[in-house]
Amino acid sequence: MGSGLWGFKSPLRHFKTMKKGKIAVFISGRGSNLQAIHKYSKNDNANYRIVLVFSDNPQAAGLTYAVKNGLPTLCLQPEQFNSRKEYESELLNTLLRLQVELICLAGYMRVVGKTLLENYGGRIINIHPSLLPSFPGLHAQKQALEYGVRISGCTVHFVDRTLDGGPIILQQAVSVLPADSEESLARRILKQEHRLYPRAIQLFFENRLKLNGRRVEIE
């Protein structure tokens, strides 16, 4: 069984059995990027699948979405551990057990510590709502408005020890309009985030991201 009309395997069948990269999505809140990443993963062409949604916040709306959509979830609260090391070690056990290959931070409001960085070096990515290196940290859209830039956007980057300072994978520019409020700008940037993040994950698993110094070359 399993062979096509003339004895060779149908390409469609090959697609369906293609090995998909295993990702964990880390969230702390709303989870709209999680939804976009998940939606994309359901395409036949997607080369990744979500094997874990992790949250440090039991109230995160994204967790409700994950449960409703049958995605495996884990919630650990750092306050319940003696140290960040213990918290991350517990989390790491699950990531290793599920053979997670890439961690995607999507509104995860914690600094990633040594334990995860050492075990997942070069395999943690994040999305940030500005054109880095401008406006790292919290309230990036507010920072952009207050600074008066005409163009902002979003960035997907590798995570390293620095705050929003790791090598840049993809960026998308978004115009800042004269009448923009923080909310309206955030909304337009978010729309682009939802397109950018799945593309970056796809590139990662196509093995096309090569690090050259701090530059990411897309092969």
| Choice between 25 and 100, CB closer to ligand GRF | 25
Contact letters (x/-) for ligand GRF, 57-96, by CB under 6 A? -----x----------------------------------
| CA 182 – CA 212 distance, rounded (Å) | 35
The count of other CB atoms within 10 Å of the CB of residue 192 is 16
Chosen residue from 26, 32, 103, 143 binding ligand GRF by CB under 6 A: 32
127 binding ligand GRF? (CB under 6 A): yes
Q: How far is the CB of 181 from ligand GRF (least distance, A)?
A: 15
Using CB under 6 A, count the residues that bind ligand GRF.
Answer: 14
Chosen residue from 23, 24, 71, 129 binding ligand GRF by CB under 6 A: 129
| Choice between 39 and 210, CB closer to ligand GRF | 39
User: Cβ distance 164 to 132 under 8 Å?
Assistant: yes
Q: What is the dihedral of CA 112, 34, 29, 53, to 10 degrees?
A: -60
Percentages (nearest 5) of helix, strand, coil residues in the chain: 35, 25, 40
Backbone angles phi, psi at 16, to 5 degrees: -65, -25
169 binding ligand GRF? (CB under 6 A): no
Contact letters (x/-) for ligand GRF, 186-205, by CB under 6 A? ----x--x------------
| CA 175 – CA 153 distance, rounded (Å) | 8
Chosen residue from 30, 110, 139, 188 binding ligand GRF by CB under 6 A: 30
| CA 127 – CA 194 distance, rounded (Å) | 10
Backbone angles phi, psi at 140, to 5 degrees: -60, -35
| Choice between 29 and 165, CB closer to ligand GRF | 29
Dig out the tokens for 22 from the structure. 């295993």
Q: How far is the CB of 105 from ligand GRF (least distance, A)?
A: 7
The residues annotated as belonging to the active site are 128
159 binding ligand GRF? (CB under 6 A): no
Chosen residue from 91, 106, 185, 201 binding ligand GRF by CB under 6 A: 106
Alpha-helical (H) ranges within the chain are 11-17, 32-41, 61-68, 84-97, 114-119, 140-147, 182-205
38 binding ligand GRF? (CB under 6 A): no
**Which residues in this chain contact ligand GRF in the complex, by CB under 6 A?**
27, 29-33, 62, 106-107, 127-129, 190, 193
